[in-house]
Amino acid sequence: MKFCVISPVFSIAGVPLAQIRLAKALAKAGHEVDLIFCRIDKQFEFPNIRNVNVINFNLKKIRWIFFKLCIYLLKNKPLVIFSAEDHLNIMVSICAILTFSKVKISGSSRVTPYDTYSDRSFYKKWILKSLFKIFQWRINVLTCVSKDMIDQYQKVFGITRHQCIYNIINDKDAGRLKKEKVLETWIFPKKKNCKLLVAAGNLAPWKGFNYLLEACSLLKLNKFKYKLIILGDGPEKNKLQILSKKLGINDKVKFLGYVKNPLKYYSVSDVFILSSLVEGMPNVLVEAIMCGCKIVSTNCETGPKEILSIGKCGHLVPIKNPRALANSIINSIKFPVKLEERKKILKLFSEKNVLNKHFRCLGI
């Protein structure tokens, strides 16, 4: 069978990486797969993906996708197109209508609808909401990456057809990536009783890294020995570096920027910390569980509570609460992560489980 997986922009972020994993899983299952990006940012090194045909439309604006996608649908005729993010889902549905394509569309929502839609008339988010209401009929399967997000969509739109299908995270490549050596001399050798903490994500306000740094300053007051590595880049990086100096913890914090393989850092860390104010379904949380980290996470909407309630793999704390974060980091050290609890979670994010659910929903 021929499948198409499409994503707006390639970067080191949750959505494009999840779409790549989906494309790889489909190819491993013996299917013909096209992986389309509206644009591949040149600042990032694109991974080598075996048996997947990667297509870069090289568009500056995603809204310019119509012409190229229409031509693609007319020439290639995939059985299913897997789209991610609401604005792209709508564009794919319109292109399918215009080309009279018989392609089945699976449209995945990845962020809270409260950030995507608005009731403010003629505002961009209001237009997007109106377009969704008009064209959602052409999307065969509407999915969300967490159950809590479905509830949010139904609060915004009333009863919808959304179903929960998680991202693939626990794939065949993960085992190899976890075993890669970490070469940074700042991290190794570890000092006695010094715990390695790790956090990852876009360095943006909604990720709450400022609260994490404040929590780490409280750890210092409690004479808790640690080093913190932060993976990722973004607009708040300079502010966060200045804050770490102001808090007197800059010697304990290392900003590593974007890294090609975050799993190897999780594998050598003691505690993974998610300090987000809002999420869709945090892939990094599942990756850290997969690598054996103890977990401390904010109980933000949506995702963390849903993951951590499956197995006893972590601590949930209120958002914007550095003291609760600090206390839970200290307490997490006392409790080992049980393998059987990890397996309960990871099974839901496996290639086999996710593909089976997609195929069942699509009726193929």
Q: What is the CATH number of the domain that holds 158?
A: 3.40.50.2000
Per-residue pLDDT 10s for the chain (364 aa) are 999 999 988 876 778 889 999 999 999 999 999 999 988 877 777 777 889 999 999 888 878 889 999 999 999 999 999 999 999 999 999 999 999 999 999 999 988 888 888 888 878 899 999 999 999 999 999 999 999 999 999 999 998 999 999 999 988 788 888 999 998 889 887 777 899 999 999 999 999 999 999 999 999 888 889 999 999 999 999 999 999 999 999 999 999 998 989 999 999 999 999 999 998 889 899 999 999 999 999 999 888 998 888 757 789 999 999 999 999 999 998 877 777 888 888 999 999 999 999 999 999 9
With a CB cutoff of 8 Å and minimum separation 6, the contacts of 123 are none
Angle at 203 between CA 202 and CA 209, to 5 degrees: 115
Q: What is the 3-state secondary structure (H, E, C) of the chain?
A: CEEEEEEEEECCCHHHHHHHHHHHHHHHCCCEEEEEEEEECCCCCCCCCCCCEEEECCCCCHHHHHHHHHHHHHHHCCCEEEEECHHHHHHHHHHHHHCCCCCEEEEEECCCHHHHCCCCCCCHHHHHHHHHHHHHHHCCEEEECCHHHHHHHHHHHCCCCCEECCCCCECHHHHHHHCCCCCCCCCCCCCCCCEEEEEECCCCHHHCHHHHHHHHHHHHHCCCCEEEEEEECCCCHHHHHHHHHHCCCCCCEEEEECCCCCHHHHHCCCEEEECCCECCCCHHHHHHHHCCCEEEEECCECCHHHHHCCCCCEEEECCCCHHHHHHHHHHHCCCCCCHHHHHHHHHHCEHHHHHHHHHHHHCC
Q: Is the separation of the CB atoms in 318 and 324 below 8 Å?
A: yes
- 354 shares a domain with 216: no
- 184 shares a domain with 150: no
Host domain of residue 299 = 173-348
CA-nearest of 306, 328, 309 to 318 is 328
How many whole angstroms separate alpha carbon 295 and alpha carbon 353?
Answer: 24
- 26 shares a domain with 91: yes
- 289 shares a domain with 180: yes
How many whole angstroms separate alpha carbon 259 and alpha carbon 203?
Answer: 14
- 146 shares a domain with 73: yes
- 180 shares a domain with 109: no
pLDDT of residue 12: 66
- 279 shares a domain with 355: no
pLDDT of residue 123: 87
- 254 shares a domain with 220: yes
How many whole angstroms separate alpha carbon 34 and alpha carbon 364?
Answer: 18
| Cβ count within 10 A of residue 215 | 25
- 139 shares a domain with 254: no
Q: Total domain count for the chain?
A: 2
pLDDT of residue 166: 95
At 56, list the tokens: 């870069």
Q: Is the separation of the CB atoms in 226 and 219 below 8 Å?
A: yes
- 182 shares a domain with 137: no
CA 338 to chain centre: 24
- 217 shares a domain with 124: no
- 152 shares a domain with 232: no
Give the pTM: 0.89
